[in-house]
Amino acid sequence: MPGIIEESLVVLDLAAENKDQAVRLLAERLAGAGRVTDIEEFLADVRAREQVMPTGLEGGIGIPHARSEAVTTASLAFGRSPSRVDFGASDGPADLIFLIAAPAGGGAEHMTILASLARRLVHGSFREALRGSASPAEVAELINREVGA
């Protein structure tokens, strides 16, 4: 199984004004890498999840995500948004955006990797490392190392 993230899935200057734009830009990267087969279907699934409850968390985090038929392998697209995008967190918009894509029928292996990613996200040191990374390659390497994929 490939890593959860690769260089092409990291956008360090995400130019998005709202969360729909941000999610679409990141989803296009997933589609470009062949990890999402039908971008519209995937976006609809993400929106549906976002409507249940916003995915923004305190500390500048947005984690839009979905399990979708359009996803082939457990993946993460990561964006840093200097201008920040509102994901509905109580303390304001997010500068770190994690778009998590899980295959609908994903086996335990996929889900375990995503679970370990989610656990890393809680740690302030992990977030700071992402904020301080200089290149997409560095980010991809850091994340894949941390989640053990």
- The catalytic position among 19, 29, 35, 65 is 65
d(CA 128, CA 145): 16
53 forms part of the interface with another protein (CB under 8 A) = yes
Query: Which residue of 85, 121, 139, 142 would you call a contact of another protein, by CB under 8 A?
Result: 121
d(CA 93, CA 106): 31
CB atoms within 10 A of CB 122: 11
106 forms part of the interface with another protein (CB under 8 A) = yes
108 forms part of the interface with another protein (CB under 8 A) = yes
Mode of pairing for the β-strands spanning 61-62 and 65-68: unpaired
Site for another protein in 86-105 (CB under 8 A): 90, 100, 102
Least distance CB 128 / another protein (angstroms): 16
148 forms part of the interface with another protein (CB under 8 A) = no
Long-range contacts of 85-88 (CB under 8 A, 24+ apart): 85/14, 85/16, 85/17, 85/18, 85/19, 85/21, 85/22, 86/18, 86/19, 86/56, 87/19, 87/54, 87/55, 87/56, 87/57, 87/61, 87/62, 87/63, 88/54, 88/55, 88/56
Q: Which stretch binds another protein (CB under 8 A): 24-32, 51-59, 77-85, 127-135?
A: 51-59
110 a catalytic residue: no
Query: Which residue of 72, 116, 127, 129 would you call a contact of another protein, by CB under 8 A?
Result: 116
Query: Which residue of 119, 128, 131, 145 would you call a contact of another protein, by CB under 8 A?
Result: 119
What residues line the site for another protein (CB under 8 A)?
A: 49, 52-53, 55, 57-59, 63, 65-67, 90, 100, 102, 106, 108, 111-112, 114-116, 118-123
